[in-house]
Amino acid sequence: MQLDYSHQQNWHFESGQHQSPINIDDQSVIDWQRGSAIEIDYQNQVSEAHNSGNGLEVLVNGTAILNYRKFNLLQFHVHTPSEHQLNQHTFAAEVHFVHQALNGTKAVIGVFFELGAPDPVIDSIMQHWSKPGQFAIKLTDFIPADPAYYHYLGSLTTPPLTENVEWYIIKEPVTLSSEQLSFLQTLMPKNNRDLQAVNDRPILYRP
Amino acid sequence: MQLDYSHQQNWHFESGQHQSPINIDDQSVIDWQRGSAIEIDYQNQVSEAHNSGNGLEVLVNGTAILNYRKFNLLQFHVHTPSEHQLNQHTFAAEVHFVHQALNGTKAVIGVFFELGAPDPVIDSIMQHWSKPGQFAIKLTDFIPADPAYYHYLGSLTTPPLTENVEWYIIKEPVTLSSEQLSFLQTLMPKNNRDLQAVNDRPILYRP
- Residue B113 to residue B83: CA distance in whole angstroms: 11
- At residue B30, the pLDDT reads 97
- At residue B152, the pLDDT reads 98
Binary contact (A3, B194; C-beta < 8 A): no
Residues in chain A, pLDDT under 70: none
When scoring A1, A4, A5 by the number of chain B Cβ atoms within 10 A, the one with the most, hence best to mutate, is A5
- Residue A142 to residue A76: CA distance in whole angstroms: 11
A52/B contact by beta carbon, under 8 A: no
Q: Quote the minimal CA–CA distance from B165 to chain A in Å.
A: 9
A54/B contact by beta carbon, under 8 A: yes
Binary contact (A102, B192; C-beta < 8 A): no
Q: How do the pLDDT tens digits run along chain B, 207 residues long?
A: 789 999 999 999 999 999 999 999 999 999 999 899 999 999 999 988 999 999 999 999 999 999 999 999 999 999 999 999 999 999 999 999 999 999 999 999 999 999 999 999 999 999 999 887 788 998 887 788 888 999 999 999 999 999 989 999 999 999 999 999 999 999 999 999 999 999 999 999 999
Return the closest-CA partner of residue A193 out of A73, A23, A74. A23
- At residue B138, the pLDDT reads 87
- Residue A12 to residue B195: CA distance in whole angstroms: 16
Phi-psi region for residue B161, left (φ > 0), alpha (ψ -120 to 50) or beta? left
All residues of chain B having their beta carbon less than 8 Å from the beta carbon of residue A104 are 152-153, 200-202
Residue B185: how many CB atoms within 10 A of its CB?
16
- Residue B201 to residue A186: CA distance in whole angstroms: 38
Where are chain A's structural domains? 25-206
Cβ-Cβ contacts under 8 Å between A and B: the total is 123
Helical residues (DSSP H) of chain B, grouped into ranges: 120-127, 178-187
Give the CATH number of domain A25-206: 3.10.200.10
Which of B70, B103, B194 is closest, CB to CB, to A151?
B103
Q: Quote the minimal CA–CA distance from B128 to chain A in Å.
A: 23
State pLDDT tens for residues A2-32: 899 999 999 999 999 999 999 999 999 999 9
State pLDDT tens for residues A86-95: 999 999 999 9
CA angle B69, A201, B149 (to 5 degrees): 30
User: Dihedral of the CA atoms A44, A50, A56, A60 (nearest 10)?
Assistant: -30
Fold of B44-206: Carbonic Anhydrase II (3.10.200)
- Residue B29 to residue B84: CA distance in whole angstroms: 15
Q: Prior bond to B173 cis, omega within 30?
A: no
| Closest residue of chain B to A9, computed from CA coordinates | B194
As for the ipTM of the complex, it is 0.93
Judge whether B15 and A163 are in contact, CB under 8 Å: yes
Q: Prior bond to B144 cis, omega within 30?
A: no
A33/B contact by beta carbon, under 8 A: no
All residues of chain B having their beta carbon less than 8 Å from the beta carbon of residue A30 are 102
B33/A contact by beta carbon, under 8 A: no
